[in-house]
Chain A
């Protein structure tokens, strides 16, 4: 990438996580590729990057992989623990396997792609980021999600989209149950375009018309419609 053919190697069986993250926070040459070997489920791998570089994690990652990412592309060749790409601002994070709970929690931007299933609370508190899940998502996904899109190619668990704000969830399979104030709405042209473009970016092919749109009924936006009335 960027003319650099040899990736910079980090072997977490020999080097410390601190060394890796310190290097990733230093002045970086855009386009540099970092290859992280033997991640062995370590937590907080490649957190807080603020540069257009690539990080390839060759194995499973623990909690908070690529947390608060900005600009970078991080690929996890394996499964990711809780909070992968939490609070991402921009850039892209790919998980080829499964992701645990809170994937993409409170992400403000960027794209998170999970090849397999995601656990509980996927996209919780989402604030503008986009998430594409190749498989299914667990219960309480998109809880209080404020902005951004969650595209689920499989099924969704219980309480999907509870207390949603302006974020939108698209589900291809079945929805076990909707959370408070979430409702299924018809797919508009703009929804089809959003789903197609996110699937395209994720490299997953399904017809956008297979998906249902779940958004907020906006009944919880104001405290209590009766509150200003006196009986």
Chain B
């Protein structure tokens, strides 16, 4: 397509008069035209869309003669996952190592928050609040709810802190390490505004640093305060947007975290500047490896648990993350898609209705949408609009998310059994090989068919 134009027969033939530039390709031309027309950077939802080294670039070495597999349907494979056993007297115990990532009420509707709670509870896993506080709906529906402490502190209060099962201090998120939260006016509904103590309808841009501490030494004191506030019962997670993951993880462990959450650059967002999404941070694969290196370097791998997020979509992704050293994963965008994000239809009273016109109104189409920031979600997932919100019935959403989590968990245990593991946490790096040199270098996993890890001396 790069040097083609339709000829008389309508066929695309190479044509040097219509050569597309690699540097100034159509997307870039459109970007410059848009910038020139509006004088404002592009803001959008979801995560990075560019091709990045990812879990797809790793493969499992199933067992054969040198190791033997477990029977897929008969032999037990444990998925139980304990998080936060380092200092907290009440660690989080989950049935599966797949959790639901922090997404705010505000970016999501109250219906969606309720659906996530119902699904997570039925699967024995946790869900997480977001930038905007805890809703009654999600607390009621979630057996295990992680309460985020964010720079904005919107809706942050001691009652909800005491009601939470764990606390997640958010330093950054993968979609925008170094940037603060954002919620455009269309989504700052009366209820959202009230919870956040903001005027209705304003374009909310939150702080990127916490108001009452700066730096790792302060963080250690802040974590102690949170422990005192909650009588040392609740696990404290620290969430990092992946950049200098090796050093940041070490500092977070040093500051006293029970659990580290590392969010790679594929991590989603409800609204962030495009330049941030695509140009800041490192891929999840690289971040996970650095985080595991940091924990091993400190000899804390068994003491501090690691959750990885940012572009986890499939059971294979989960299995690979665990094999690389994560204790659990957190999923955001995959959950949204399970709920109906980018689907052509929505379900109401058991019937499917087309949402295509609503995608068209956003100048997009099912499969290509990233318009969460507008609040006009065609399938009712990321909206505060009372009409659109009705397009996602909590029970329908809950069933879909439960099915999705169930599928991932089945795939995860299938992979683990194929590698001869009775416990998914026994998956190990030795079970993996890399398909590309980039992935081999970032994940420090040998290139398939070789023992070569780029950059490792003596391993040619």
**Chain A interface (Cβ within 8 Å of chain B)?**
17-18, 21-22, 25, 43-44, 47-48, 50, 62-64, 67-68, 70, 82-83, 86-87, 89, 102, 105-106, 108, 121, 124-125, 127-128, 143-144, 146-147, 165-166, 221-224, 226-227, 229-231
Q: Which listed residue (B184, B197, B224) contacts A43, Cβ 8 A?
A: B224
User: Chain B residues near A87 (CB, 8 Å)?
Assistant: 153, 156-158, 212
A8 to B184, CA, bound (A): 50
User: Of B39, B40, B152, B221, which is within 8 A of A64 by CB?
Assistant: B221
Chain B contact residues (Cβ within 8 angstroms of A): what range?
20 to 34
B231 within 8 A of A: yes
B229 within 8 A of A: yes
Which residue of the partner chain, among B36, B202, B230, B231, contacts A222 with CB atoms under 8 Å?
Answer: B202
Q: Give every chain B residue within 8 A of A127 (Cβ-Cβ).
A: 153, 197
Q: Lowest 6 CB-CB distances: which A-B pairs, in order? A: A83-B212, A48-B229, A106-B153, A105-B211, A105-B212, A68-B158
- Chain A residues contacting B221 (CB-CB under 8 Å) are 43-44, 62-64
Known: A87-B157, A102-B212. A125 touches B207 (CB 8 A): yes
Are the CB atoms of B37 and A106 closer together than 8 Å? no
Q: Are B212 and A165 in contact (CB under 8 A)?
A: no
Chain A residue nearest to B154 in the complex (CB): A127
Task: Give B residues with C-beta under 8 Å from A.
Answer: 36-40, 152-153, 156-158, 161-162, 184-185, 196-199, 202-203, 207, 211-213, 218, 221-222, 224-225, 228-232
CB-based nearest A residue for B158: A68
Task: Tell me if A's interface is mostly helix, strand, loop or mixed.
Answer: loop
Q: How far is B34's CA from A231's CA once the two chains are assembled, in angstroms?
A: 11
Q: Which of A25, A43, A128, A146 contacts B231 (CB 8 A)?
A: A25
Q: Which of B40, B207, B225, B229 has the most CB of A within 10 A?
A: B225
Q: Please name all residues of chain B whose beta carbon is closer than 8 Å to the beta carbon of A222 when the two chains form the complex.
A: 185, 202-203
Shortest Cβ distance from residue B100 to the other chain A in the assembled complex, whole angstroms: 26
Q: State how many angstroms separate the Cβ of B131 from the closest Cβ of chain A.
A: 13
Residues of A within 8 A of B161 (CB): 48, 68
In the complex, A50 Cα to B39 Cα: how many Å? 49
* Distance, CA A229 to CA B40, complexed state (A): 10
Residue in chain B with minimal CB distance to A231 = B37
Measured between beta carbons, the chain B residues less than 8 angstroms from A166 are 199
Quick one: which of B152, B158, B211 contacts A89, CB cutoff 8 A? B158
Given A21, A86, A121, which contacts B228 in the complex, CB threshold below 8 Å?
A21
Q: Which residues of A contact B37 (CB under 8 A)?
A: 230-231
